[in-house]
Structure 1
Amino acid sequence: MRRNVIVGQSGGPTAAINSSLAGVYRTAKDRGANKVYGMLHGVQGLLQERYLDLSEYITTELDAELLKRTPAAFLGSCRYKLPEIHEDRAVYEKIFGILDKLDIEAFIYIGGNDSMDTIKKLSDYAIVTGHPTRFIGCPKTIDNDLALTDHTPGYGSAAKYIGTSVKEIIRDSFCLEYSKGLVSIVEIMGRNAGWLTGAAALSKGEDCEGPDLIYLPELPFDLQSFSAKVKELLSQKPSVVVAVSEGIRTEDGTYVCELGNSVDFVDAFGHKQLSGTASYLANFIAGEIGCKTRAIELSTLQRSASHAASRVDILEAYQVGGAAVKAADEGDSGKMVVLQRLSDDPYQCGTEVKDVHKIANDEKLVPREWVNAEGTGVTDEFVAYVRPLIQGDVSPVMVDGIPRHLFRPYNL
């Protein structure tokens, strides 16, 4: 690698996204890159010529280790949708002019579905114009919904946090008894794919029964059936814990959170902001049954809990960052690095590259056979798929009892 590399982060952050950034930086330097630039706030920031030289922040091995343990996007993220080439060619001309000015050989973008759309469009423009810069996608998303990859970096750590938190919520729910019982509804991220919500089943073990009900967005949600199941459970036990995806919808496609409030905010990719599913269901059950209810939103905690990160996840995130640089250095473009599971016992996973055109704007959903017949839980096969991804811990670097992160000024 004789020229420079630029890397950006896009979409929702994770506890492992910066480990991929560390992998990109280290591999690029090891392969001879002169400079490794970081886009501030992804391609949106690049259009404003906002970038930095990562060597000014990663000066020692300790800095690299801190970066791996730092949650959220160190470079800043964005949700910016590139126009189609024929709609606004000037945007592409500006981006490629900046890449030429910085003498960029490889453009690495760490992100999920929407980020792979960016890689697809930029690599297509490079082909049309004969531009030499290579474009590689590096997978990242707690949603675990990218096609063609066994799983995505970021998911394992989020799943570990969810399994741990749901187990603690279950334990807490048995502390007090209420005359008509207690129903706790835990809202977990997941618009169309229930990989995160299914991870609530990891809380089940010899010392915990796990959640009583789990509802994924892959299947229609029926309010009356839900109410009947909760009533039946309350007749058998004093406390019920339910895990629901934020994106569960009724048979007609209405988001449950829309039943209580209108959803006003829509991002650049047309995604509605989903929030309030647990609150609506808690109020519904309280009205139907008259019991004590609690609505719990894990919200951004499930993607920023680096103190509960999975060691497997952090190592694989670093691995795909390095693999993205290697792919670009060896001539690939318009590709995304994917993880291929080689075995479960012992767990082994390797990397390959796949055509980003077969990944962008697609979603991998939880298979129907991994959800129970009633649609109220996940199967043992689902748990067996997830469990290897949550193994091991990554000890934070502690200073005065609090984890230390790698810092950069946010006003750059």
Structure 2
Amino acid sequence: MKDIKGNCLVAQSGGPSSVINSSAYGVIKEFLSLDSPFKAFVGLYGIKGILDRKIVNIEEFSKDSIEALRYMPSSALGSCRYKLANYEDNDEDYIRLIEIFKELDIRYFFYIGGNDSMDAAYKISKYAEILGYDIKVIGVPKTIDNDLVETDHCPGFGSAAKYVSNVGLEMWFDINTYEKDSIMIMEVMGRDAGWIAASTGILQKLVPNMNQLIYLPEVIFDRNKFLEDVHKSLRNNNKLLIVTSEGLKGKNGQYINIDDNCYETDAFGHKQLGGIGKYLQQIVKNNITSSVKLSEIGVIQRCAMHCISKTDLSEAEMVGRASVNYALEGYTGYMAALQRENHEEYNCITKLSKLEDVCNKVKCVPAHWINEYKNGVTEDMINYIKPLITGEVNTLGEDGLLRYKDVGLFR
């Protein structure tokens, strides 16, 4: 038996994904497999819920409920966007957290989330170290945006990429229905990194005659060049699919929208985006053709469980299980990252990345993975995304709907 020093606590934060619950499942199952007298707890609604003592012993739930967790879409444990202050400025939340950890004998804390969650995990690990409280804090990566550094990719991204690419393919067939000119604009998520939009470049490999333009936040958006791109594309083929990330920026570094300064911000100061598709639709209508439609994919791309990637689901569980083992080995202040092995056949393993090297940084689509015209992607991007969207998981029941079990945890 491994030397286990106390109980564990797992929580989720940030936006949901199709596989975030698979990571929670991995943590819980791995810890329970140790067959120790110690307990696994889940924190509901992230750090905010933990501070409010919304903490549940996993023993309260049946084995069937725990098994169902792996295939549940969205964040079963609940989430939050609660920003922990720097403990040098205000340590009130940290004092309260440590009190709760001591009360429940929490010696292992696993926080599943994206950039802001990794920042919270890092702060908690550092404060516990300063206080001398022995707790191992491990960040478990999750974000459909795929913008965490120090990991090849993020659990959640592969399934989101698979979903939007399939939607894009279906849209392409739709706009080819009629003989007349037809343009479809598809707006997807991506505030500062365009991984989701870029992933749809795989469609050009699948459908060689596809007429597609892709616009990413990594490239400064130029209105005149965009119109030139559309004009040129329509001369080659009067059907066109335009995929855009929501976070396009102009030369001034500001997000582009029909109305200036119309964005709200969240607790972390992040702009709540949406609207670039309408802007592109309008300038195409005003300057090129009125035959242009818009599809804003919206939040469904975050947790479309009916179109999940088997690779993504498996790797999400893998990082959850690996996080437990890293913590038991004595590591704290790290993230369980994914590392792609250099083999002919795709394979991914886990590695440790320091949280201080991960938080408050953004991994962008590499410049050499964007084509020379800045309106598409290269073969490198296609090769990168291909294995991440593969594999099928049958999540539908005989009635044609998602197999869903009300596990009750969960809120």
> Hey, what's the Cα distance between the residues in 1 that align with 2:159 and 2:79?
19
Q: What is the CA distance between 1:397 and its match in structure 2?
A: 4.8
- Structure 2 length as normaliser, TM-score? 0.95
Contact 1:200–1:211 under 8 Å retained in 2: no
Q: 1:93 to 1:160 in 2, by over 3 A?
A: same
| Cα distance, 1:55–1:333 mapped onto 2, change above 3 Å | same
Alignment partner, residue 274 of structure 1: 273
Q: CA deviation at 1:22?
A: 0.5
Structure 1 55/210 Cα, relative in aligned 2: closer, same or farther at 3 Å? farther
Q: CA distance change for structure 1 residues 47 and 137 in 2, over 3 Å: closer, same or farther?
A: same
Choose which of 7, 11, 17 in structure 2 pairs with 1:8.
11
Report if the CA contact (8 A) 1:58-1:64 is conserved.
yes
Equivalent residues in 2 for 1:10-409 (5 A)? 10-31=13-34, 32=36, 34-60=38-64, 63-178=65-180, 181-207=181-207, 209-210=209-210, 212-257=212-257, 259-260=258-259, 262-409=261-408
RMSD between superposed Cα atoms in Å: 1.6
Contact 1:183 1:291 in 2 (8 A): no
Q: Distance in 2 between matches of 1:398 and 1:385?
A: 32
* Partner Cα separation in structure 1 for residue 261 and residue 409 of structure 2: 33
Contact kept in structure 2, 1:185 and 1:278, CA below 8 Å: yes
- Report deviation, 1:343: 2.8
- Where 2:272 maps in the other structure, the secondary structure is coil
Q: Which moved more, 1:221-230 or 1:399-408?
A: 399-408
Alpha-carbon shift at residue 329 of structure 1 (Å)? 1.2
Q: Quick one: structure 1 residues 408 and 346, their matched pair in 2 at CA, closer, same or farther if it must change by over 3 Å?
A: same
Number of positions where the alignment pairs a residue of Structure 1 with one of Structure 2: 407
Contact in 2 for aligned 1:142/1:152 (Cα 8 Å): yes
Q: Given the two structures, how large is their TM-score scaled by the length of structure 1?
A: 0.95
Counterpart secondary structure, 2:347: strand
Q: Secondary structure at the match of 2:124?
A: helix
Contact 2:248 2:255 in 1 (8 A): yes
Unaligned 5+ runs, structure 1: none
| Cα distance in 1, alignment partners of residues 170 and 67 from structure 2 | 29
Tell me which stretches of 4 or more aligned residues in structure 1 moved more than 3 Å: 205-211, 259-262, 408-412
* C-alpha distance in 1 between matches for 2:37 and 2:388: 32
CA deviation after TM superposition for structure 1 residue 174, in Å: 0.8
8 Å CA contact 1:397, 1:403 repeated in 2 = yes
Give the whole-Å Cα distance in 1 for the aligned partners of 2:195 and 2:54. 35
SS in 1 for 2:27: helix
Q: 1:240 Cα deviation (Å)? A: 1.1
Distance in 2 (CA, whole Å) between partners of 1:65 and 1:144 is 27
Q: 1:260 Cα shift?
A: 3.2
SS at match of 1:143: coil
